């Protein structure tokens, strides 16, 4: 069934049957073969750019360009090489070669010049982000707030350092797989293998660095936002979080696009495929680890801190609670590190998927080059649109709200999203006409309209999400009303209703826009490419990402507003002797303390809403983009859609079984990630309740106790992430080795099930979160039974929206991307007469996956009095951390609170020490 696959996802060979393999004679132009491999697509490949490294602009690349040239030479791709390697290589996307981009002529201008303009735009975008970063650092803040912000950053820094070491361990593991596959099986030279490895490290480092940049910007912005609230005016409280978010968004998108343009412009054409696949693998690895671990970390800390409000009847950000600093760290680890790495990977992998499609499905080399130039020109134009929209929206917001006493914090964010979408659509049509106008309106108009479908989705989906998660939405108000009558039980049920309804409306919206893209593509693109509907779906994902910098900006708005509220409370600025007179004398500020707290809480509600709006955009992109990557497998299995189509049918049992299996894995993943949160939160709550000091003269928790809670969160986040990652990794290998069409069904299934599961969980969690905010801000009912019920609902929603739902996005993409290599590996072994070995390995990998699935519950069980009384006596949960006793069994939390309040000098002295 496999033919002509050297440059497809399944490598260069023909397989007549998954078990019985046969081969056609190789093309006479193939100078040498390694084994039975050959390539039908080799006949359409263009000569390499012979003067690629000799151009003057190459000298300007400096050390980076020199390093690329050395790697290229080691790979046997020195300048002057022919259009194909001297031998046909397997290896899927790693063997793809770019066409001559100079063949794309736009009004007589070389296509490479347009891409060079894109490089300039990316550099300007990076400059904008860095300048904003420096301006943020210079904004004023009170020293008491700066101390808290720097403590938060120091714990974030410690978390990131540990995560960096952990990522390197995972990278070494993946590198071993890359070497085994590309060197031992495919037969790549060490130079080409080194390129895949080097760019995988570059992709992972990109995810990691943008995550670090995001945390540093956010921890600058949180103290400045808290300080800006003191005069009681809403506009500064809005402006600072949005500026910091826009800084992150511009740096993230510009850096990702710059890296891909460097591959297009500076890397020899023969090794570009190896660069792209390595880059995508590294991005996916970094995003998966940081997103899963960050989601677990933040919700362990959040639940540990929130439950103290019910147990001890204290404020959310009471400084005496050692879990508050961990909660602030988690806001950054889960709501900044995770989305930053996830967004970086989403943009990169979607781009790699579209490049792969163009090279596989388009026969005309000139059109290939033009489409590639068009894709990256549109991306660069979208960065310009985002910057222009931000500038226009900032001017309008300043004019309307600069002196206003009241402000709807959600309004400027909504107008920013819509304005960016409108400008992106306008520049998409303009850029597409300029680049593709020579091919007639049948091509450029259709492609621009298809991209517009995705861009429109990027604006419509946030509006739909607000219907279910905004503090002003009827679903959130219904959740509050239910809590009045039925307590936590009806609160939770109303949140479930909101999540389920949101899955329907968002799902139907995505289906409608994809249908429009399908209709546009199926009637006008078939003459230019294979499977135009797949390309249409990929362009919808591409359009989804059109508002990229703004999507990241409004998502990053949330952790800043959340931290700002915490920094204000933790600083205890109101209690500083003579603070009112000092502020008047030094800054001219007349502090309005109660008004400042109200503004920070109200702004946090807007942050919660727009954190929720970004989640479906990213998960929707993952699902739609995965369709394009799955095509790389299908085109190989069906010999470019000419044979074996009947196996992509419910009548083919393995395909149907794959569809069923994917749903099982999605639901296990949801449970396993929540179980990791539950176990870690149990341990964190145990430590907090044993170390919290509520004596009448206690001021704040000790730094040592706060750091200890951070360590607990990090420990359980890494343990849970590793277990889940290994289960997913071995499941991918097992199902790819089982049967190729089974694996296609599995990939389709995890995408579809994952889409609806993620939307449901994200928006249910958003409804619970803002229902609590309504009770606290609008109703002013903290400390009441209604507030307790809303807090319980929020703690249920926390892992829903910030752990399981968001982590499904990188898991879908990692499984799809890594699955391409796994299928190639399985087919190669089968072709070499090792069918029994493949079957045996599938069974072994499945057993390993089931082992880690088993551990994801039984090695992560909670400990404590209730659990031990019901248990059979078997201790399967993690041991308490060394040096810290577990709390006494059966001790009631409220009794513990009374004991603390009664006064304990010894504990107070220990806290001060």
HEC per residue, 686-698: HHHHHHCCCCCCC
What is the DSSP secondary structure assignment for residue 270, as one 8-state letter? G
Band of pLDDT at residue 342, cut at 50, 70 and 90: confident
Instruction: Of 197, 217, 107, give the one whose Cα is nearest residue 156.
Output: 217
- Both tokens of 500, joined, read 């389920």
Count CB atoms within 10 A of the CB of residue 780.
10
The rounded distance, in Å, linking the Cα atoms of 842 and 384 is 48
DSSP calls for 301-364: HHHHHHHHHHHH---TT-TT-THHHHHHHHHHIIIIIHHHHHHHHHHHHHHHHHHHHHHHH---
- Is residue 276 over pLDDT 50? yes
Owner of token pair 């939770």: 492
The rounded distance, in Å, linking the Cα atoms of 731 and 852 is 10
- Is residue 380 over pLDDT 60? yes
The rounded distance, in Å, linking the Cα atoms of 660 and 319 is 49
- Is residue 301 over pLDDT 60? yes
- Is residue 331 over pLDDT 90? no
Judged by DSSP in three states, 110 sits in strand
| 325-339, 570-584, 870-884: segment of lowest average pLDDT | 870-884
Element (H, E) at 105: strand 105-106
Q: What is the pLDDT of residues 786-816, one digit of tens each?
A: 999 999 999 999 899 989 998 898 888 889 8
Q: Are 96 and 83 in contact (CB under 8 A)?
A: no
Beta-bridge partner residues of 106: 109
Most confident of 306-320, 475-489, 539-553, 686-700: 475-489
Q: Are 538 and 361 in contact (CB under 8 A)?
A: no
520-525: long-range contacts, CB 8 A cutoff, minimum separation 24: 520/446, 520/449, 520/450, 520/453, 521/446, 521/450, 524/442, 524/443, 524/446, 525/443, 525/446, 525/447
Beta-bridge partner residues of 110: 105
Judged by DSSP in three states, 558 sits in helix
The rounded distance, in Å, linking the Cα atoms of 480 and 603 is 19
The rounded distance, in Å, linking the Cα atoms of 723 and 672 is 9
Q: Are 188 and 218 in contact (CB under 8 A)?
A: no
The rounded distance, in Å, linking the Cα atoms of 648 and 534 is 15
Give percent above pLDDT 70 in the chain.
84
- Both tokens of 41, joined, read 């697509």
- Both tokens of 175, joined, read 């590198």
Cite the DSSP H helix spans in 143-189: 143-178
Instruction: Of 810, 625, 822, give the one whose Cα is nearest residue 9.
Output: 822
Q: What is the pLDDT of residues 634-646, one digit of tens each?
A: 876 777 777 788 8
Q: Are 375 and 542 in contact (CB under 8 A)?
A: yes
The rounded distance, in Å, linking the Cα atoms of 396 and 238 is 13
- Is residue 723 over pLDDT 70? yes
| Integer CA distances (angstroms), 450 to 221, 358, 508, 537, in order | 38, 16, 17, 8
Q: What is the pLDDT of residues 421-452, one digit of tens each?
A: 999 999 999 999 999 988 888 889 999 999 99
- Both tokens of 185, joined, read 């099986």
Cite the DSSP H helix spans in 523-531: none
Count CB atoms within 10 A of the CB of residue 888.
9
Residue 720 is predicted with a pLDDT of: 92
Q: What is the pLDDT of residues 209-231, one digit of tens each?
A: 998 999 999 999 999 999 999 99
- Residue with the bigger pLDDT between 316 and 686: it is 686
- Is residue 63 over pLDDT 70? no
Sign of the Cα torsion 27, 30, 36, 41 reads negative
Cite the DSSP H helix spans in 739-864: 740-773, 785-799, 805-831, 835-858
Tell me the average pLDDT across 503-507. 94
Residue 337 is predicted with a pLDDT of: 81
Number of H helices and E strands in the chain, helices first, is 26, 2
Q: Are 676 and 716 in contact (CB under 8 A)?
A: yes
Residue 831 is predicted with a pLDDT of: 78
Tell me the average pLDDT across 76-90. 37
Band of pLDDT at residue 306, cut at 50, 70 and 90: confident
The rounded distance, in Å, linking the Cα atoms of 358 and 375 is 10
Q: E strands along 196-329, which residues?
A: none
The rounded distance, in Å, linking the Cα atoms of 669 and 246 is 32
Instruction: Of 756, 745, 698, give the one whose Cα is nearest residue 507.
Output: 756
Residue 575 is predicted with a pLDDT of: 87
Tell me the average pLDDT across 731-749. 93
Q: What is the pLDDT of residues 402-427, one digit of tens each?
A: 999 999 999 999 999 999 999 999 99
Residue 553 is predicted with a pLDDT of: 92
Sign of the Cα torsion 716, 717, 722, 724 reads positive
Q: What is the pLDDT of residues 817-848, one digit of tens each?
A: 888 778 877 877 887 888 899 999 999 999 99
Residue 757 is predicted with a pLDDT of: 95
Owner of token pair 């460097």: 262
- Is residue 386 over pLDDT 50? yes
Instruction: Of 673, 609, 557, give the one whose Cα is nearest residue 297.
Output: 673
Instruction: Of 80, 424, 472, give the one whose Cα is nearest residue 270.
Output: 80
- Residue with the bigger pLDDT between 16 and 850: it is 850
- Residue with the bigger pLDDT between 71 and 369: it is 369
Q: What is the pLDDT of residues 33-55, one digit of tens each?
A: 333 333 322 332 323 322 322 33
- Is residue 12 over pLDDT 60? no
The rounded distance, in Å, linking the Cα atoms of 327 and 300 is 8
Instruction: Indicate the average pLDDT of the chain.
Output: 81
Give percent above pLDDT 90 in the chain.
45
Owner of token pair 């926390």: 798
Residue 68 is predicted with a pLDDT of: 36
Residue 696 is predicted with a pLDDT of: 61
Query: What is the rounded end-to-end Cα distance, in angstroms, of the chain?
Result: 72
DSSP calls for 373-430: HHHHHHHHHHHHHHHHHHHHHHHHHHHHHTT-S---THHHHHHHHHHHHHHHHHHHHH
- Is residue 241 over pLDDT 90? yes
Tell me the average pLDDT across 268-274. 87
Q: Are 245 and 390 in contact (CB under 8 A)?
A: no
Taking 3-state DSSP, the helix, strand and coil percentages for the chain, each rounded to the nearest 5, stand at 80, 0, 20
Tell me the average pLDDT across 190-212. 91
Burial environment of residue 344 by CB neighbours within 10 A (0 to 12, 13 to 18, 19 or more): buried
What is the DSSP secondary structure assignment for residue 15, as one 8-state letter? B
Q: What is the pLDDT of residues 655-677, one digit of tens each?
A: 999 999 999 999 999 999 999 99
The rounded distance, in Å, linking the Cα atoms of 78 and 70 is 9
Residue 626 is predicted with a pLDDT of: 78
- Both tokens of 297, joined, read 């970390």
Residue 863 is predicted with a pLDDT of: 61
Instruction: Of 218, 290, 281, 288, give the one whose Cα is nearest residue 247.
Output: 218
The rounded distance, in Å, linking the Cα atoms of 49 and 157 is 44
What is the DSSP secondary structure assignment for residue 47, as one 8-state letter? P
pTM over 0.85: no
Beta-bridge partner residues of 817: none
The overall longest dimension of the chain from CA atoms, in Å, is 91
The rounded distance, in Å, linking the Cα atoms of 392 and 838 is 59
Owner of token pair 């989601």: 295
């Amino acid at each position: 069934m496999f033919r002509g696959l050297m440059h497809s996802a399944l490598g260069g060979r023909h397989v007549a049957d998954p078990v019985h393999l046969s081969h056609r004679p190789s093309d006479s132009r193939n100078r040498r073969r390694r084994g039975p491999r050959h390539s039908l697509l080799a006949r359409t490949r263009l000569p390499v750019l012979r003067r690629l490294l000799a151009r003057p602009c190459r000298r300007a690349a400096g050390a980076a360009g020199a390093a690329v040239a050395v790697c290229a030479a080691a790979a046997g791709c020195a300048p002057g090489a022919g259009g194909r390697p001297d031998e046909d290589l397997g290896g899927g996307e790693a063997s793809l070669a770019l066409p001559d981009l100079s063949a794309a002529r736009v009004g007589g201008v070389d296509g490479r010049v347009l891409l060079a303009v894109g490089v300039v735009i990316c550099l300007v975008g990076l400059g904008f982000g860095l300048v904003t970063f420096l301006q943020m650092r210079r904004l004023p803040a009170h020293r008491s707030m700066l101390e808290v912000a720097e403590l938060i950053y120091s714990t974030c820094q410690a978390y990131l350092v540990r995560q960096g070491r952990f990522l390197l361990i995972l990278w070494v593991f993946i590198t071993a797989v890359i070497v085994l596959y590309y060197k031992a099986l495919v037969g790549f030279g060490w130079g080409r293998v080194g390129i895949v490895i080097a760019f995988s490290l570059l992709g992972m480092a990109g995810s990691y660095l943008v995550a670090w940049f995001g945390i540093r910007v956010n921890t600058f912005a949180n103290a400045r936002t808290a300080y800006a609230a003191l005069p009681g005016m809403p506009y500064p409280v809005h402006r600072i979080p949005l500026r910091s978010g826009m800084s992150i968004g511009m740096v993230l998108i510009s850096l990702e696009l710059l890296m891909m343009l460097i591959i297009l412009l500076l890397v020899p054409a023969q090794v570009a495929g190896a660069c792209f696949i390595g880059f995508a693998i590294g991005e996916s690895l970094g995003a998966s680890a940081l997103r899963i671990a960050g989601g677990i970390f933040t919700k362990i800390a959040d639940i540990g801190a929130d439950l103290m409000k019910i147990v001890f009847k204290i404020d959310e950000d009471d400084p005496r609670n050692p879990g508050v600093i961990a909660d602030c760290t988690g806001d950054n680890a889960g709501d900044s590190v995770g989305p930053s790495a996830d967004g970086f990977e989403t943009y990169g992998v979607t781009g790699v998927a579209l490049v792969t499609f163009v090279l596989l499905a388009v026969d005309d080399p000139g059109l290939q080059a033009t489409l590639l130039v068009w894709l990256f020109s549109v991306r660069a134009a979208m960065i310009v649109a985002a910057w222009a929209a931000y500038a226009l929206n900032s001017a309008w917001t300043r004019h309307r709200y600069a002196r206003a006493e009241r402000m709807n914090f959600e309004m400027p964010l909504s107008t920013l999203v819509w304005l960016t979408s409108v400008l992106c659509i306008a520049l998409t049509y303009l850029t597409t006409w300029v680049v593709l106008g020579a091919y007639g309106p049948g091509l450029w108009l259709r492609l621009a309209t298809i991209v517009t479908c995705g861009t429109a989705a990027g604006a419509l989906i946030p509006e739909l999400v607000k219907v279910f998660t905004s503090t002003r939405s009827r679903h959130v108000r219904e959740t509050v009303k239910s809590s009045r009558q039925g307590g936590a039980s009806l609160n939770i049920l109303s949140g479930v209703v909101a999540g389920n309804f949101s899955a329907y409306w968002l799902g139907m919206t995505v289906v409608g826009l994809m249908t429009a893209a399908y209709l546009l593509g199926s009637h006008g693109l078939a003459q230019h490419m294979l499977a135009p509907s797949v390309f249409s779906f990929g362009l919808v994902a591409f359009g989804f990402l059109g508002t990229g910098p703004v999507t990241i900006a409004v998502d990053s708005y949330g952790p800043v507003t959340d931290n700002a509220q915490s920094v204000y409370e933790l600083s205890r600025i109101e209690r500083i002797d003579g603070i009112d007179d000092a502020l008047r004398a030094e800054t001219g500020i007349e502090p309005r303390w109660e008004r400042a707290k109200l503004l920070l809480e109200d702004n946090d509600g807007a942050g919660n809403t727009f954190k929720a709006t970004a989640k479906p955009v990213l998960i929707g992109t993952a699902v739609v983009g995965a369709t394009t990557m799955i095509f790389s497998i299908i085109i190989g299995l069906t010999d470019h859609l000419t044979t074996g189509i009947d196996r992509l049918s419910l009548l083919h049992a393995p395909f149907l079984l794959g569809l069923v299996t994917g749903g099982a894995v999605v639901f296990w993943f949801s449970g396993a990630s929540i179980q990791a949160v539950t176990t870690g939160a149990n341990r964190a709550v145990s430590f907090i309740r044993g170390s919290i000091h509520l004596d009448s003269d206690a001021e704040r928790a000790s730094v040592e106790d706060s750091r200890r809670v951070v360590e607990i969160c990090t420990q359980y986040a890494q343990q849970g992430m590793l277990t889940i990652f290994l289960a997913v990794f071995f499941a991918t290998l097992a199902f790819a080795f089982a049967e190729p069409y089974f694996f296609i069904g599995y990939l389709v299934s995890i995408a579809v099930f994952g889409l609806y599961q993620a939307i449901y969980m994200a928006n249910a969690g958003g409804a619970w979160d803002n229902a609590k905010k309504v009770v606290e801000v609008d109703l002013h009912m903290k400390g009441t039974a209604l507030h307790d019920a809303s807090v319980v609902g929020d703690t249920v929603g926390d892992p829903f929206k910030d752990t399981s739902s968001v982590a499904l996005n990188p898991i879908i993409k990692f499984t799809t991307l890594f699955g391409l290599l796994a299928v190639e590996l399985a087919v190669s072994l089968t072709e070499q007469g090792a069918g029994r070995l493949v079957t045996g390995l599938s069974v072994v990998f499945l057993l390993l996956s089931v082992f880690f699935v088993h551990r994801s519950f039984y090695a992560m069980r909670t400990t404590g009095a209730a659990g031990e009384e019901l248990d059979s006596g078997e201790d399967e949960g993690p041991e308490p951390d060394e040096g810290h006793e577990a709390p006494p069994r059966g001790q009631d939390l409220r009794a513990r609170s009374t004991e603390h309040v009664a006064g304990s000098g010894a504990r107070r002295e220990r806290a001060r020490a």
